[in-house]
Amino acid sequence: MNTIIHLKSIVKNYYPGAEIVRALRSVSLEIFRNEFVAIMGPSGSGKSTLMNLIGCLDTPTSGTYVLNSKDVSKLNDNQLAEIRNKEIGFVFQTFNLLPRYSALENVMLPLVYAGIPRHERLEKAQLALGSVGLSDRMTHKPNELSGGQRQRVSLARAVVNHPSIILADEPTGNLDSKTSTDIMSVFQEIHESGNTIILVTHEEHIARYAHRVIKLLDGRIESDQNRGQSV
């Protein structure tokens, strides 16, 4: 199988004041292209730290992180920003949409940062919104959309650049159960189209959509279970 993420002996320590917080303790992990992986664990287990490292939002204290054949563990902030924009699509619990921008303008943002010409940005953003069922909401601003529709805009923005991986941090945390099911169906469609998805969740019924579930405890991998087909 084609490895897209390779973590080897990843350690992440934080130093608030005089103490040391050992957030990740020698984590080694491989994730393969087109996997659908859920990362679970109690508060303080290290799952948010792991997500931040995989998403190039932070760097490890020690260890090696290779993303899509690039060693990103030693890159500087500008290089990490470039990798984030090119290789990673983010979906957040709080949507992180700009309130004064329309759905279309929000989805176009990663393409602006990538230097894509305007006519091409428009076309790509329209296609991405169409793929999540929002062709009729392109000119609406976030406050004119439901929570589920806002998360669909967030999903469209995540896939518009055709990134190597989609990272989703509690993507259904602010949604009711029916809307959560609808959003997870969109994730399934995105996965079936060839995307690698890594999902952080504390909800077992959401994790069941993933083919593989990694559970963290006290900064270490407690279990790594391949479930095969998701629900």
pLDDT at 6 over 80: yes
pLDDT at 18 over 90: no
CATH number, domain with residue 84: 3.40.50.300
Please provide the average confidence, as pLDDT, over all residues in the chain.
92
Task: Give me the pLDDT at residue 229, please.
Answer: 56
The first and second tokens of residue 121, run together, are 């940005």
The whole-number average pLDDT for the span 118-132 is: 94
Q: Is residue 60 one of the residues assigned to a domain?
A: no
Q: Is residue 89 one of the residues assigned to a domain?
A: yes
Task: Give me the pLDDT at residue 102, please.
Answer: 97
The whole-number average pLDDT for the span 42-54 is: 92
Domain that holds residue 42: 34-51+77-226
Return d(Cα 111, Cα 166) in angstroms, integer.
16
Q: Is residue 199 one of the residues assigned to a domain?
A: yes
Q: Is residue 28 one of the residues assigned to a domain?
A: no
Q: How many domains does the chain have?
A: 1
Each residue's pLDDT tens digit, 126-163: 999 999 999 999 999 999 999 999 999 999 999 999 99
* Alpha helices (runs of H) in 90-223, residue ranges in sequence order: 103-113, 118-131, 147-159, 177-192, 204-207
Q: Is residue 207 one of the residues assigned to a domain?
A: yes
pTM of the model: 0.91
Q: Is residue 63 one of the residues assigned to a domain?
A: no
Q: Is residue 203 one of the residues assigned to a domain?
A: yes
Whether 210 contacts 168, CB under 8 Å: no
Q: Is residue 8 one of the residues assigned to a domain?
A: no
**Phi, psi dihedrals of residue 121, rounded to the nearest 5°:** -60, -45
Return d(Cα 159, Cα 126) in angstroms, integer.
12
